[in-house]
Structure 1
Amino acid sequence: MPQQQSRGRTSHPLPTARLLRGAALTASLAFLPLATACSGGEDDAAASSKSSKISAAPAAGVVAPAKVEVIASLTGCKPKIRIEAEELRQGLCHTEKVDYLITTFPEEKYKQIWLDSAAIYGGKYLVGTRWIVSAKEPKMLEQFRTKIGGTIQQLQGMGPTAGPSSS
């Protein structure tokens, strides 16, 4: 009769192997911002949903870090943090020209979930790596794009449309 094999993990990695894996992970994370900065936001086009129209990022390839305060300073404001959660951070910028929101995400998947949810309402958004800027005046997004990079996405609204009243 054959013996059953143990389902549990019986061997543990050596401390040296664990240290090497940790060092490799740390090194790869250190180089991640450099690789991301060189992309010019082109990966965002591939991640967008079918319902969005995308414009190209600036030729300079500028990409802002995914931090509300840094993006805000690049656009010329000091943000008021509205949401501080595990899935996102959101800051409100109020200027003489326009009010706008800067939303950052710890992972791309949260950004994509946010965009998928916003698609119901439609509108234009400036989208970068782990961040989104939305403005009351969508024409301002082009000016922000020249400063912080990203792509402008036009999301198609899918909600109810106003029709003639039957009463």
Structure 2
Amino acid sequence: MTAARPHRARIAALLTALLLAPLAVGCSADEAGTPPDARSKSGTSGASAPSTTPPPTPTAAPAPANIEKIAALTGCEATIRIEADELREGVCVTTRGKWIVTTFPEEKFKDIWLDTASMYGGTYLVGPKWAIGGKVEILNELHPEVGGELRKLRDMYAPAT
């Protein structure tokens, strides 16, 4: 019976992180916060008008799955708040704002975490074995620095489109 307790504690820590992390970040976005390349584009015919939009900023190769390295790339020193076998989570607070970096030892844990986070909706910056949660404006700033892709998750109460 005693051997099961550490396992239960790890499961409880993982479930707590999965359920509370998206709420702590408070990251919900609407169409205005969605990056231009992710919005639906209206069709144009024939000749196109000259673009007044600046060319897209080159995106870095995805950062390694290490909170300290990701934090360094973004100019922050992360405060670690969760250390578990299934994930690590660190909080970055700078003059730019606040974001949460979560790393995973395997892709399957990231997939489970994102699946659970989709209950709450929001936008995340996602790379190999890591995810960053925060306001869309901050994620757009971090994207060229750490790479990955922006993923908008639909909350479970949102109507299907």
TM-score w.r.t. the length of structure 1 is: 0.59
CA RMSD of aligned residues (A): 2.3
Question: CA–CA distance in 1 between the matches of 2:112 and 2:71?
Answer: 23
- Aligned: 1:141 with 2:113: no
Question: CA–CA distance in 2 between the matches of 1:152 and 1:120?
Answer: 17
- Aligned: 1:105 with 2:87: no
1:1-167 to structure 2, matched below 5 A, reads 55=38, 59-135=58-134, 137-159=135-157
What percent of counterpart residues are identical? 45
Structure 2 unaligned spans of 5+? 1-36, 39-56
Amino acid in the other structure paired with 1:127: V
Q: 1:109 to 1:154 in 2, by over 3 A?
A: same
Question: CA–CA distance in 1 between the matches of 2:143 and 2:96?
Answer: 16
Residue 97 of structure 1 deviates from its aligned partner by: 2.0
Q: Deviations over 1:74-107 (max 9, x none)?
A: 0010000000000000000011221110000000
Question: CA–CA distance in 1 between the matches of 2:125 and 2:59?
Answer: 16
TM-score w.r.t. the length of structure 2 is: 0.61
Amino acid in the other structure paired with 1:63: P
Structure 1 residue ranges (4+ consecutive) displaced by more than 2 angstroms after TM superposition: 58-61
Query: Which residue in 2 is equivalent to 1:7?
Result: none
8 Å contact 2:127–2:148 — kept in the other structure? yes
Structure 1 unaligned spans of 5+? 1-53, 162-167
